[in-house]
Amino acid sequence: MNNNTPLRIEPKEMRRLADIVIAEIIDHQVNQKYKPLSKPSNKLEEVLQVNPFKEEGKSFEGLLNLITREIYKETSLPSNPRFLGYIPGPSNFISNLADLIISGFNSFSGSQLVGKGPAKVERQTINWLLKSMGLPETGGGLFLSGGSMANMSALETARRNFHSEDWRNFKIYGASQTHASVKKGLRVLGFEADQYVPIDHNEEFSIDLNKLKIAIEKDKEKGYIPFVIVGNAGTTNTGAIDDIQSLREIADSHKMWLHIDGAYGAASVLTEEGKKLLKGVETVDSITLDPHKWWFQPYEAGCLLVKNKEHLLNAFHIEAEYLKETYDDAEQLNYYNQGIQLTRNFKALKLWLSLQFFGVAEFRRAIQLGMDLAKRIEENLMNQGDWTIVTPARLAIINFRPKLSNSSEQEEDQLTRAMIGRFLEDGKYIITSTELLNRPVVRLCIINPELTRKEIDQLSLYIYNVREDLMKSMGLNK
């Protein structure tokens, strides 16, 4: 370190340290699928206690070893191909390098005055996403931390552009499968819990359109104002997609805003199969999508798109005496006036650089692979027999449970929970559960492009063997 300038490292030492870090990252990227996944432990707490902050610094190599050998040892990384729970976060190396560039240059992308280059790249990337979704040229959007912030920003945008200001009487409607971030966002925005109206799902776990229509009419009779319909383009639980075209018709008939949560599933629009499933997405008022899910970007990378960029300005434009130099005719480049954040990093670079490097076709192929592999494991389970496919492979998500003809539902549920416990205990895969129709199910989300058909077949056999072993130990018969 330079003794004269605080926090300064000499260029030669910078290069040496950077080489060490890059080598660690490459080793992780290449070998992570072969490494054991995390198991709960109290060891890290002890390690951190003996590494307090001190007046004098420590060796970088020792600290890097602490990070890679101890901290990440107790972390089940969603980028691991064997991470099949929740919604995995498979990134790509080019975007990892983009993150390094973002941090290294430490650029500001909140306004065109300080960050015109990053702002223009963000605008180009947003315009490409708008076109991919079929949204009009009047549309706009911005990158955010994730789907939670995008959903909340969409709801605030809707409120600031709605035909009524009596928001205390607004009602917001969404399927029972709608992501919890919607309700959290409404709470942060000041809405009461009873202003959100959950609508039952149909047999395919999509919103029941008839029940939605009835709920809206009943609320209008009571003097409430139907405000927003929150539809889904790929729910977390099942990958279910709501009938967007029908939701648009219902919203129009009541002068409502239509927001779609496509944080997970919107990426499928790049494929022919996905375009058919998301029919009508080009008509929405706003849509959330998460590049750090099925667009293969590292955390954090969320995005909100709207059909009219003026709606964002109406919702978030603000002036301050210390921002006067940022005002000019290129208002659309001042992203601080289109969202909550003033200080923003260059999130768009990750998706921009990886799209430029790999090409759109590679992203399309990676997304289609996930859908194909989910169908393959469904086929494998059907061939094994004695499984109930609760929701078939849909947008790379499948839910199932063991089927025991000579046992009760309660015993099936006990076996399902025992399987999940065994999966997590083994540490070979991260496989988690959810509940559908008040019963536990095994849930898989298969979107990592590093997975192969052979590995899916091995996974199928592993799941089968766990079931058979537990049935014996629990004294259950098929």
Give the domain CATH number at 422.
3.90.1150.170
Mark whether 295 and 368 lie in a shared domain: no
Residue 100 host element (H or E): helix 93-105
Domain contains 91: no
Tokens standing for 180? 């919890």
Note the pLDDT tens digit of each residue in 35-49. 777 666 678 888 888
Percent of the chain scoring above 90 in pLDDT: 84
CA 171 – CA 191 distance, rounded (Å): 9
CB 76 within 8 A of CB 426: no
Looking at per-residue pLDDT, the higher value among 27 and 115 belongs to 27
Note the pLDDT tens digit of each residue in 294-311. 999 999 999 999 999 999
Mark whether 330 and 243 lie in a shared domain: yes
- Res 353: pLDDT: 98
Mark whether 190 and 236 lie in a shared domain: yes
* pLDDT band (50, 70, 90) for residue 328: low
Tally of domains in the chain: 3
CB 133 within 8 A of CB 281: yes
Mark whether 401 and 316 lie in a shared domain: no
Note the pLDDT tens digit of each residue in 223-245. 999 999 999 999 999 999 999 99
Domain contains 323: yes
Note the pLDDT tens digit of each residue in 238-290. 999 999 999 999 999 999 999 999 999 999 999 999 999 999 999 999 999 99
Instruction: Write out 131-144 in H/E/C secondary structure.
Output: HHHCCCCCCEEEEE
Mark whether 389 and 425 lie in a shared domain: yes
Q: What is the dihedral of CA 95, 99, 104, 107, to 10 degrees?
A: 110
Mean pLDDT across 124-139:
98
Note the pLDDT tens digit of each residue in 50-84. 899 999 999 999 999 999 988 888 887 889 999 99
User: What 3-state DSSP class applies to 387?
Assistant: strand
Domain contains 86: no
Note the pLDDT tens digit of each residue in 358-388. 999 999 999 999 999 999 999 999 999 999 9
Give me the domain span that covers residue 26.
11-77
Q: Look at residues 19, 48, 77 and tell me which one is the last residue of a structural domain.
A: 77
- Res 34: pLDDT: 83
Mark whether 204 and 223 lie in a shared domain: yes
Q: Is the pLDDT of residue 2 over 70?
A: no
* pLDDT band (50, 70, 90) for residue 201: very high
Domain contains 92: no
- Res 83: pLDDT: 94
71, amino acid identity: I
Mark whether 241 and 337 lie in a shared domain: yes
Q: What is the dihedral of CA 56, 61, 62, 68, to 10 degrees?
A: 130
Q: What CATH number has the domain bearing residue 273?
A: 3.40.640.10
- Res 45: pLDDT: 86
CA 199 – CA 211 distance, rounded (Å): 7
CA 350 – CA 288 distance, rounded (Å): 18
Mark whether 207 and 329 lie in a shared domain: yes
Mark whether 32 and 105 lie in a shared domain: no
Query: Which pairs count as long-range contacts for 120-124, CB under 8 Å and 24+ apart, including other chains?
Result: 120/333, 121/346, 121/348, 121/349, 121/352, 122/335, 122/346, 122/347, 122/348, 122/352, 123/332, 123/333, 124/352
Domain contains 85: no
Q: Return the CA Rg of the chain.
A: 24
CA 276 – CA 295 distance, rounded (Å): 19
Strand partners, 143: 303
CA angle 384–389–393, rounded 5-degree value: 100
Note the pLDDT tens digit of each residue in 211-224. 999 999 999 999 99
Q: Helical H runs in 282-408?
A: 309-316, 348-358, 360-384
Q: Is the pLDDT of residue 329 over 60?
A: no
Domain contains 84: no
* pLDDT band (50, 70, 90) for residue 157: very high
Tokens standing for 182? 């919607």
- Res 40: pLDDT: 60
Q: Please provide the average confidence, as pLDDT, over all residues in the chain.
A: 94
Q: What is the dihedral of CA 391, 86, 178, 239, to 10 degrees?
A: -40
For 358-381, letters b (16+ CB in 10 Å) and e give: beeeebbebbbbbbebbbbbbebb
> Taking each helix axis from N to C terminus, what angle separates 93-105 and 11-31, rounded to the nearest 10 degrees?
150
Mark whether 368 and 243 lie in a shared domain: no
Domain contains 71: yes
* Residue 320 φ then ψ, to 5°: -150, 150
- Res 75: pLDDT: 81
In DSSP notation, 13-56 reads HHHHHHHHHHHHHHHHHHHGGGSPPP---SHHHHHHHTS---SS
Mark whether 306 and 382 lie in a shared domain: no
Residue 225 host element (H or E): strand 225-232
* pLDDT band (50, 70, 90) for residue 331: low
Q: Is the pLDDT of residue 399 over 90?
A: yes
Mean pLDDT across 152-161:
98
Mark whether 320 and 396 lie in a shared domain: no
Among the listed residues 343, 356, 351, 445, the one whose alpha carbon sits nearest the alpha carbon of residue 393:
445
Domain contains 2: no
- Res 478: pLDDT: 72
100, amino acid identity: L
